[in-house]
């Protein structure tokens, strides 16, 4: 091991647990955005226990070394990028499911457990963990908690924090805390468990999580609604929500998204609509049948082009798989894509869609639109055929205007991807100075020397981060 930092970390986490060669370090510069790879870690360490994580943090804290936690690096906000160097703590070797308790409908996992692997382990026991970020094949449960990850099921079941009952975390100085418990109801002082939800690695490192589970729904059905326009699809979403028959998933797709999906599914979806809604309804068989009938009638009453209930389970699964693969597939058609993540109140979706169309025309940018519309969370994707200064400038302009548009409609600047670096310039627009100052004081209580994931959530300012930037 060439560097003394590497040798010291190996002394803590064991042989074969540290990366210091340049090619390896290069691979840890970025998350899935590739836009914020401005720094490089000095070392990457892959611990296997809470004790090792705590010892790494004690070591870093004593020397003032920056620490960036990392799950799978699938983030879309630049959250796990080590822009100021230091140590990246990669949690992927902490991947044990420590316990599943059907009698209490809970499970305890290490932070590095990959979401799909967890679902595959509990599914055969008739258990269901709803959060479903579309990166489930790679992302980790620790990363999901740290970003408050959501997904299509958010509309009916809520997002990751709704299923987090407690956790184990190591603070910046190596102190290990265990807020929360395996109880599904608790009221003991401040809710430190959920302070870690959305903390993006700035408060400490989550090493274990207690999760609440549900029984697997007995039946489900998938329906595709073909709409005349994006505005019509958005109006249908709002009408569905106000009618009170809430689908398990309610995804919004423009014609462009369906064109991409059709390249990987068979039989293809009819391509004559301008926008589509992909819905899953779940529950008891009787409830599903009744909900499908009600929702189909509602959509038809609103004048949609077609409602098709997919009878073949394999065909339905292929549509959902294609939906999950949408963004990687779009990337095969454009040289650069920036995925946005604003949420608006559901009754504002039609206006949001209309204004987005106007923005696309005004800036001359191709903007694909998809999203978890059922909970108002839209993901406009800015597509570029070239990667150059002009592209970067236009993307910045578009992101800023989309954020302003969402806020003007009473929305929020991130529904599920978090702030990281991508949205840090806009946080004050939503939260105001007072809340940011309060968050900084909270961070200082967890991380007095500011070593945890510097530069994330709010831009560099006074204090240590400013001096180092």
Interface residue list for ligand FAD (CB under 6 A): 31-32, 68-76, 79-80, 91, 111, 133-135, 139-140, 142-144, 146-147, 149-151, 200-201, 205-206, 327-328, 416-417, 420, 453, 456
CB of 41: closest distance to ligand FAD in angstroms? 12
Q: Which long-range contacts (CB under 8 A, 24 or more apart) does 435-443 make?
A: 442/195, 442/203, 443/202, 443/203
CB of 171: closest distance to ligand FAD in angstroms? 11
CB of 207: closest distance to ligand FAD in angstroms? 7
Largest CA distance in the chain: 70
For strands 43-45 and 18-19, give the pairing. Answer: antiparallel
| Contact assessment for residue 334 and residue 384, using Cβ atoms and an 8 Å cutoff | yes
Nearer to ligand FAD, 32 or 240 (CB): 32
Distance CA 372, CA 164 (A): 21
Distance CA 242, CA 24 (A): 51
Query: CA torsion angle for 207, 211, 216, 222 (degrees, to 10)?
Result: -70
- Annotate 196-217 with b (16+ C-beta within 10 A) or e (fewer): bbbbbbbbbbbbbbbbbbeeeb
Nearer to ligand FAD, 134 or 235 (CB): 134
Nearer to ligand FAD, 331 or 407 (CB): 331
Q: Look at residues 233, 272, 279 and name the one whose alpha carbon lies nearest to residue 255.
A: 272
Nearer to ligand FAD, 323 or 346 (CB): 323
CB of 29: closest distance to ligand FAD in angstroms? 13
Nearer to ligand FAD, 146 or 356 (CB): 146
CB of 54: closest distance to ligand FAD in angstroms? 13
Nearer to ligand FAD, 153 or 355 (CB): 153
CB of 56: closest distance to ligand FAD in angstroms? 12
CA angle, 235 then 159 then 324, to 5°: 70
Nearer to ligand FAD, 357 or 459 (CB): 459
Q: Residue 457: left (phi > 0), alpha (psi -120 to 50), or beta? A: left
CB of 420: closest distance to ligand FAD in angstroms? 6
Distance CA 436, CA 245 (A): 38
């Amino acid at each position: 091991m060439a560097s003394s930092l590497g040798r010291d970390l190996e002394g803590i986490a064991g042989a074969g647990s540290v990366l210091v060669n340049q090619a390896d370090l290069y691979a840890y510069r970025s998350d899935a955005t590739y836009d914020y790879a401005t720094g490089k870690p000095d070392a990457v360490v892959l611990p296997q226990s809470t004790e090792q994580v705590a010892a790494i943090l004690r070591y870093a804290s004593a020397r003032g070394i920056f620490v960036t936690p990392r799950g799978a690096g699938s983030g879309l906000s630049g959250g796990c990028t080590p822009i100021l160097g230091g140590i990246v703590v990669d949690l992927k070797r902490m991947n044990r499911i420590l316990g599943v308790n059907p009698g209490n409908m809970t499970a305890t996992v290490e932070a590095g457990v990959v979401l799909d692997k967890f679902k595959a382990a509990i599914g055969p026991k008739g258990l269901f963990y709803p959060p479903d970020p579309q990166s489930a094949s790679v992302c980790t449960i620790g990363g999901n908690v740290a970003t408050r990850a959501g997904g299509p099921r958010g509309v009916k079941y809520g997002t990751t924090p709704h299923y987090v009952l407690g956790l184990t975390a190591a603070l910046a100085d190596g102190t290990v805390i265990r807020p929360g418990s395996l109880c599904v109801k608790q009221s003991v002082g401040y809710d430190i468990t959920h302070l870690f939800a959305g903390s993006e690695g700035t408060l400490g490192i989550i090493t274990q999580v207690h999760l609440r589970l549900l029984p697997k729904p007995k039946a489900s059905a998938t329906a595709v609604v073909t709409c005349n326009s994006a505005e019509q699809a958005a109006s249908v979403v709002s009408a569905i929500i106000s009618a009170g028959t809430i689908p398990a998933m309610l995804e919004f797709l423009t014609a462009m998204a369906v064109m991409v999906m059709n390249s990987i599914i068979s039989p293809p979806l009819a391509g004559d609509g301008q926008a589509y809604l992909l819905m899953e309804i779940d529950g008891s068989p009787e409830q599903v049948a009744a909900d499908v009938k009600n929702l189909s009638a509602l959509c038809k009453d609103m004048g949609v082009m077609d409602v098709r209930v997919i009878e073949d389970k394999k065909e339905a699964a292929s549509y959902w798989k294609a939906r999950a693969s949408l963004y990687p597939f779009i990337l095969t058609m454009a040289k650069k894509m920036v995925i946005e993540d604003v949420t608006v109140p559901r009754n504002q979706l039609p206006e949001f869609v209309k204004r987005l169309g106007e923005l696309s025309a005004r800036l001359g940018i191709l903007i694909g639109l998809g999203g978890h519309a059922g909970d108002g969370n839209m993901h406009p994707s800015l597509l570029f055929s070239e990667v150059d200064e002009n592209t970067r400038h236009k993307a910045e302009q578009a992101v800023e205007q989309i954020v302003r548009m969402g806020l003007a409609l009473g929305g929020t600047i991130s529904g599920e991807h978090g702030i990281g670096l991508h949205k840090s310039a806009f946080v004050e627009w939503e939260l105001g100075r007072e809340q940011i100052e309060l968050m900084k004081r909270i961070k200082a209580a967890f991380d007095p020397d500011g070593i945890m994931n510097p530069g994330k959530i709010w831009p560099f300012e006074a204090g240590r981060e400013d001096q180092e930037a």
